[in-house]
Chain A
Amino acid sequence: MDLENQKRVKDLAEKHGPENILVILGAAEGEAAGIAAETVTAGDPTYAGPLTGVQLGLSVYHVCEEEIKSLLDPAVYDEQIGMMEMVLDVDDIVSEMSAIRDEHTKY
């Protein structure tokens, strides 16, 4: 995850409390989604950014996961994400995200 985004996530978690933060990802691929999810839960796996060694344990979902998709207006979802969803390997993304959540999410 981009160093600036790591800083923003860290600052927001400190300001509002980690239990009040939900991170929504839009990565195009399972592995990239997994790395971003790991960064905001168990810490930056690349040891490069402000979240290195910081275990925020935040709630984190990919926007194409049912938990998030079901909350959105279907027309808006279709317009903004429908085509992308057709193109993505959503099963792979869901399995990566679930694995990270099961292991590292605290909230």
Chain B
Amino acid sequence: MNSVLTAASYILVHAPDMVVHNGTTQTTERVVNPGSEYLKQLPEHIRSYDQAVAYAPNQTYIGNMTPGQLGEMEQPWHDMPVAGATREGRYGEIMPQDEFLLLMQASDMFDLVRLDRAFVAKTKPALEKHPLLGQEILALVKAGEDASDIARAVNEEHAEGLYHMGQLVGYVKRAHDVDANLSAHVLLENLASKASAVLALRHLLHTSGVAPEEIEYVIECSEEACGDMNQRGGGNMAKAAAEVAGLGNATGSDVRGFCAAPSHAFVMAASLVKAGTFKKVAVTAGGSTAKLGMNAKDHVRKGLPVLEDVLGGFAVLITADDGKNPEIDLDIVGRHTVGTGASPQAVITSLVLSPLERAGMKIQDIDKFAAELQNPDITKPAGAGDVPQANFKMIGALAVKTGELDRGGLNGFIEQHGMVGWAPTQGHIPSGAPYMGFARQAILDGEMEKAMIIGKGSLFLGRLTNQFDGISFVLRKNRGAAQQQQEPGISKEEVRGMIAEALRSFAASMEG
């Protein structure tokens, strides 16, 4: 019996000051070219919170628009604010930076995040109104410190400043004098990632209606590493986030694999549930401060707003088959293996064509493909093209190569089986995951039957291997408990394999 996708949540955090102070494009520029025109112009291109909320791809991310509705809007989207846009969405919310800084403090168990007293007094009432965070979390926000102490920590004690609206309002303290892995910089990244995962998990409890204590296992799949100098990636971000989110009965672990990590995590979670090891598994990831404003140089140069001004987060709940929610079909799993090679053709064949062929299916049997859902508003001006479009074109080209599609049908294929991208370029965030909630709903509503979620990862960035990576799986309409009970303990594939094996040994015996 397959496991099912029960719920999904998607959150964004507007983080304009983190773009300036923590995004690596900007921190690198301050080292290499501190007096640059770019750094001078940057503040003029930062969006307000309201602008970020009214941005159509962000409204799509939290579920107030569907990818289909976004696709009907003419591109570019950055100068077409959505009328009536709201902070709250069907799947989550867009949290403002000031509230998030308090949530970062609530997510910090080592007294490393210190905030200005006046800032806390001003911001806490807003957070107290948050419907999903609860008293246990709010109680972790401290009264705050004097502004002079904050300035001293940043100027003299290697603390990393926390800013809001251009003002220093707090800092993250280093946790060790010499250990680079416990530096203020690393801890700020990890705590921002953790806090955004906490927010996504709290929303998941809401969208799923599941009680916190029912979740047995959490898999975290961001791209951060937490540990000290003796174990740089020791982990466990999953359990750390589960603790703050109030998942008292859960343990968990972290899965890493660059942008492909979420898809690896979904397959593992589905397998854990299918095997009966756990009944309810959450997969989550928070956002990346390092990637804020990653392409901002191009955006500024072209007179655009800095569009990479949000942290992304998501959480997905996978549970035992309930006969209703869409199944994660583990009989159709594609994987890029060590021997696959790195050519785009080989990659997409391994992830799309091979698993479908093994299952006796064609490419066009899949209603929608979801791979690398980066927002083209961000990537096109940066010279990276329309990433999802390129993926769907390649899948279509593969269908042409295998002869199931005419070349003339390529554009129609992309329109029918693809979608526009809406996810912020936060590495692991765009990789298929943002479509899970929409796919679940569309399948439940009877609009489609099968979606393929594809994760792809650029492992070479870690300089340990030149290997590319990827893993894919199919989310499909629930085939119902009755049909599944009839399924014998042996698949068609296995029968075919056994017959082939018998024939081979028969042939071998003839030769002998």
Contacts and interface: CB of A to CB of B under 8 A. Distances in A.
B384 A83 contact: no
B393 interface: yes
Contacts of A35: 383
Overall SS of chain A's interface: helix
A82 B398 CA distance: 10
Overall SS of chain B's interface: helix
B29 interface: yes
B390 A87 contact: yes
Interface centre among B36, B385, B400, B401 (most CB of A within 10 A): B385
Interface stretch (A11-19, A25-33, A54-62, A99-107): A25-33
Contacts of A86: 393, 397, 400
B394 A48 contact: no
Contacts of A73: none
A31 B390 CA distance: 15
B348 A83 contact: yes
Contacts of B126: none
Nearest to B348: A83
Nearest to B349: A83
A23 to B, nearest CB: 17
Interface in B384-399: 384-385, 390, 393-394, 397-398
A27 B269 CA distance: 36
Interface string B150-165: 0000000000000000
A27 B393 CA distance: 16
A29 B297 contact: no
B129 to A, nearest CB: 43
Interface string A65-94: 000000000000001111110110000000
A79 B345 contact: yes
A32 to B, nearest CB: 4
Interface string B332-349: 000000000001111010
Contacts of B346: 80
Interface in B130-180: none
Interface in B33-73: 33, 36
Interface in B94-133: none
B505 interface: no
Nearest to B389: A87
Contacts of B36: 47
Contacts of B33: 47-48
A81 B343 contact: yes
B28 interface: yes
Task: Using C-beta atoms within 8 Å of the partner chain, give the interface range for chain B.
Answer: 20 to 34
B490 interface: no
Nearest to A83: B345
Contact of B394 (A29, A80, A87): A87
B119 to A, nearest CB: 34
A59 to B, nearest CB: 22
Interface in A34-49: 35, 46-48
A32 B384 contact: yes
A69 to B, nearest CB: 15
A27 B379 CA distance: 14
B383 A32 contact: yes
Nearest to A89: B385
Nearest to A32: B383
Nearest to B32: A48
Contacts of B385: 28-29, 32
B29 A48 contact: yes
B401 A83 contact: yes
Given A28-B385, A32-B385, A83 B32 contact: no
A78 to B, nearest CB: 9
Given A28-B385, A32-B383, A32-B384, A46 B297 contact: yes
B463 to A, nearest CB: 9
B343 A79 contact: yes
Interface of A: 27-29, 31-32, 35, 46-48, 79-84, 86-87
9 contacts: A29-B384, A32-B383, A35-B383, A46-B297, A80-B345, A83-B344, A83-B401, A84-B343, A87-B394
Across the A-B interface, the 10 shortest Cβ-Cβ residue pairs:
A32-B383, A83-B345, A87-B393, A29-B385, A80-B343, A31-B383, A86-B397, A84-B344, A83-B397, A28-B385
Given A28-B384, A28-B385, A87-B390, 14 more contacts: A28-B390, A32-B384, A32-B385, A47-B33, A48-B29, A48-B297, A79-B343, A80-B345, A83-B348, A83-B397, A84-B345, A84-B394, A86-B393, A87-B394
